[in-house]
Amino acid sequence: MKIKCSKVNLLNSLNIVSKAVSTKTTLPILECILIDVYADSIKLTANDLEIGIETILDGEVIEMGRIAIEAKLFNDIVRKLPNSEIFIETTPDYNTIIRCEKSKFVIPSKSGEDFTELPQIEKEKSIELSQFSLKEIIRQTIFSISDNENNKLMTGELFEVKDGVLQVVSLDGHRISLRNLALKGNASNVSVVVPGKTLNDLSKIITGGVDDMVTVYFTDRHILFEFENTIVVSRLLEGEYFKIVQMLSMDHKIKVRVNNRELFDCIDRASILMRESDKKPIVVSIKNDNRMYLKVDTMMGSMNEEIEITKDGEEIIIGFNPRFLTDVLKVIDDEDIFIYMRDAKSPCIIRDDAGTYIYVVLPVNINAGAY
């Protein structure tokens, strides 16, 4: 095998596939990147058996062949080479020679035959959306997946396509995030649960451009994202996702309109006085004087603040985990938000009129008499 390419192209391709390199494994081959050189193309692949990424490297084929190179070392070397042409070739005893200007590295490598190929995906059901939309919809929902492996389905996100609308849902038992996105073109109806790690990795390698498209293919066991010279294949999580319809529809008694930024800053400040281990709530009192009073009282000190709001309905005193609120507020771009509540024990819903997003947050029990 022998190829020639620019440092910039090689580094870009390595950055993409590296997301699928296993970091904790006892199988050394999973720590490698496979270079597959065909008559007319150079393909880089990484595969940690959960997620696999393939990308085509823009370079010149001098001799066909394949080799598996330890990813971290390969990355480190390429990053430090001069910004110039790089030649890569292999010796019969599985050494890789990397040359650039006057620099020559020789590193032991592995036979490409030991590498696990990506699964073949049938391209039947698909949707298409922009990289921008995909990156945004992941950012706006990924924070409320669970990291508790005991309930595997909670560690992923529901991707459901129905009548040309993609709905993405995540939940962790304390809160629900839901985003709807109208798709263009033909869209197959599907319902799958995608691992959170896949979505996090994908987010880092898609450019997020408004005009750069991604095609997403679905099978019963896999999801495949195809964009530019790259494909990302991931296993799906098996099982039926949670029914959430009932949680989203609620007769509210109070509706509050509040400036998103002001509320975020106030809760963010209050969080200084809280340690995760405390589990102390922020207490929100909504009064008939069209003000929201926020209060925190912990071992470290106390904070009081008020924010002007507009309100329909009764007064209420309700407690929240402050991070559950700030997580939601920071992914909503609207200047003002609407909060719907029923009583101090019922879930609180933040949603827009257009139905683009619905966020549900469970309150924390407080002794309302004390406030």
Binding site for its own copies (CB under 8 A): 73, 76-77, 80-82, 102-108, 265-266, 268-269, 272-273, 300-307
SS3 211: coil
Q: How far is CA 303 from the centre of its chain?
A: 34
Under 8 Å between Cβ of 359 and 328: yes
Give the residue among 128, 278, 151 at the shortest CA–CA distance from 214: 128
Min dist CB 3 to its own copies, Å, is: 19
How many Å apart are CA 220 and CA 205, to the nearest integer? 24
Task: Select 46 or 273, whichever has its Cβ closest to its own copies.
Answer: 273
Q: What share of the chain is helix, strand, coil (3-state, %, to 5)?
A: 25, 45, 35
Min dist CB 296 to its own copies, Å, is: 9
Task: Select 82 or 209, whichever has its Cβ closest to its own copies.
Answer: 82
Q: What is the DSSP string of 139-178?
A: HTTGGGS---TTSGGGGEEEEEEETTEEEEEEE-SSEEEE
Task: Select 221 or 261, whichever has its Cβ closest to its own copies.
Answer: 261
Task: Select 245 or 299, whichever has its Cβ closest to its own copies.
Answer: 299
Min dist CB 76 to its own copies, Å, is: 5
Q: How far is CA 92 from CA 3, 95, 209, 270, in A?
A: 16, 7, 43, 64
How many Å apart are CA 86 and CA 104, to the nearest integer? 10
Min dist CB 195 to its own copies, Å, is: 32
How many Å apart are CA 290 and CA 369, to the nearest integer? 21
Min dist CB 70 to its own copies, Å, is: 8
Task: Select 45 or 326, whichever has its Cβ closest to its own copies.
Answer: 326
Min dist CB 246 to its own copies, Å, is: 38
Task: Select 117 or 308, whichever has its Cβ closest to its own copies.
Answer: 308
